Structure 1
Amino acid sequence: MPPLMIFAAGKGTRMAPLTDTTPKPLIEVAGRKLLDRALAIGRDAGASRIVVNAHYLGEQIHAHLAGSEVAISDERDRLLETGGGLRKALPLLGDGPVMTLNPDVIWTGPNPLKALDMAWDDSRMDALLMLVPHARARGRVGPGDFSLDHTGRISRMGDLVYAGCQIMRTERLAGIAEEVFSLNLLWDQMIRDGRAYGIVHPGGWCDLGRPETIPLAEQMLAEHVG
């Protein structure tokens, strides 16, 4: 199982005022912090190591993880976005493919990281993204992100939403000149080269982008338990 990077550095401005004094990953949904939910997914999947980055109110992330086995990639001096953040964390993650996970979504159903690991084919993939049909993407604002062809390759535009977790190779990070950049740059390269794939999550999914999405996520969790 590859190592896991959890992206916890963002400012979470859309989640204000909840994020005025609390970093978004430490907001609670159904009595459990978002970061703890993400860590549980990674541990259940058997991630070989887990790295969390921290920037906004980063001292709270550091304090929350103190004494755990989780490594922290400190971005408190500068927010690097997903691509820059992953590249900075590579010394902690090691060589080879890595999993990434956004903590600001709620899942029900099969562990998405386990599913990605089972579907990963290193010979033909540079990235494998977990996707959710737009019709099942609770809390989602805006259109879908991708389409899938009959081979499982992704292309831009379509009714599938990126669900916030993936496995990807990291070699291309070295070729990006910018210090601050999104992983979208790598995805575009991989799509162009025919090496970006996706699979669809069969369970529930909710995007925790705004305060009003918290009740949606809690309802989804309650339905799953019921």
Structure 2
Amino acid sequence: MRDHPDAIMLFAAGFGTRMGALTAERPKPMIRVSGRPLIDHALSLVAPMNLARVVANLHYRPEPLIEHLDGRGIAFSHETPDILDTGGGLRHALPLLGSGPVFTMNTDAVWRGPNPLSLLAGAWNPDEMDALLICVPRARAIGHAGEGDFLLDDTGRIARGPGHVYGGVQIIKTDLLHDIPDRVFSLNLLWDRMAGTDRLFGLPYPGKWCDVGHPEGIALAERMLEDSDV
């Protein structure tokens, strides 16, 4: 089994409920920021990694995404009749992703700064880590009103608590997915198990990140992309 990721799962199946009318006729990854769909912002980070497999999961209004991504070498993991959440969705896509650790990426955020996928690849240590998450300092997390998700210690190990915001990008080993009996479940279940064995790590992001999970995030992301002060 390979130790380093050569595949990525793009989470693109969600309902985009917080977007209101903007997702009435299209999936959230097709919402435009600075003239480009969110899915294209994500793929611009994926392309330089030269990964062997790129997979997107689909559920809500998949047709616009299928049409937009046609011919771009992306495999689709269809979740029907029910959406499977992040953990169930990742496990469902494993036949397309292959064995070993994989990248996963949410498609409702925009980045300004170093490629988070490249940063993760450079810091990944499979001997110590079961997952490595990009964690954004709250001051660099644009459009995020919460107190954060994780605390990082001096070794990079993370625990639940206010501090850094999970940026929606990680490297994760997938073997533990098969230990979850539920069909629909969140990756939070795996993270908690990994944290319990001191194998859950975080990597601080040095650039800026904007949550585009709500309508106000579109303008915030566009201003962030125009801002020369990173």
TM-score of the aligned structures, taking structure 2 as reference length: 0.95
Partner residue, 1:169 = 173
Which one is further off, 136-145 or 147-156?
Answer: 136-145
- Equivalent positions of 1:17-56 (< 5 A) are 17-56=21-60
Pairing 1:203–2:202 present: no
**Offset of 1:49 from its aligned partner?**
1.2
Q: Distance in 2 between matches of 1:76 and 1:32?
A: 28
**Offset of 1:225 from its aligned partner?**
8.8
Partner residue, 1:96 = 100
Question: 4+ residue runs of structure 1 moved beyond 6 angstroms?
Answer: none
Sequence identity, in percent?
Answer: 52
Q: Distance in 1 between matches of 2:15 and 2:67?
A: 17
Q: Distance in 1 between matches of 2:31 and 2:228?
A: 21
Q: Distance in 2 between matches of 1:207 and 1:45?
A: 23
Q: Does structure 2 retain, via aligned residues, the 8 Å contact 1:56–1:76?
A: no
**Offset of 1:141 from its aligned partner?**
2.5
Partner residue, 1:150 = 154
**Offset of 1:67 from its aligned partner?**
1.7
**Offset of 1:159 from its aligned partner?**
0.9
Q: Distance in 1 between matches of 2:118 and 2:187?
A: 22
Pairing 1:59–2:63 present: yes
TM-score of the aligned structures, taking structure 1 as reference length: 0.97
Q: Distance in 2 between matches of 1:99 and 1:5?
A: 6
Q: Secondary structure at 1:121's aligned position in 2?
A: coil
Partner residue, 1:3 = 7
* Residues 42/101 of structure 1: CA separation in 2 closer, same or farther (3 Å cut): same
Query: CA RMSD, aligned part only?
Result: 1.3
Q: Distance in 1 between matches of 2:88 and 2:186?
A: 7
- Equivalent positions of 1:181-220 (< 5 A) are 181-220=185-224
Q: Distance in 1 between matches of 2:40 and 2:46?
A: 10
- Equivalent positions of 1:56-95 (< 5 A) are 56-95=60-99
Q: What CA deviation, in whole Å up to 9, does each residue of 1:168-210 have, x standing for no partner?
A: 0000000001100000000000000100001111011100021
The amino acid of 2:12's aligned partner reads: A
Gaps of 5+ in 2: none
